Amino acid sequence: MYMISKLTYSIPKSFLQSLIATIKTLIDTEIMDQIERSGEDLKNGRIRNVRDFLEEL
In this structure, which amino acid lies at residue 23?
I
Dist CA 45 CA 49 (whole Å): 13
E-assigned strands of 5-56? none
44 found inside a domain: yes
Dist CA 35 CA 43 (whole Å): 12
| More confident: 42 or 24 | 24
5 found inside a domain: no
pLDDT for the residue 3? 58
50 found inside a domain: yes
| Contact by Cβ (8 Å): 47, 41 | yes
Domain that holds residue 33: 11-54
29-42 per-position pLDDT tens digit: 988 888 888 888 88
Dist CA 56 CA 30 (whole Å): 10
pLDDT for the residue 4? 60
Share of the chain above pLDDT 90, in %: 28
pLDDT for the residue 14? 92
- Count: domains in the chain: 1
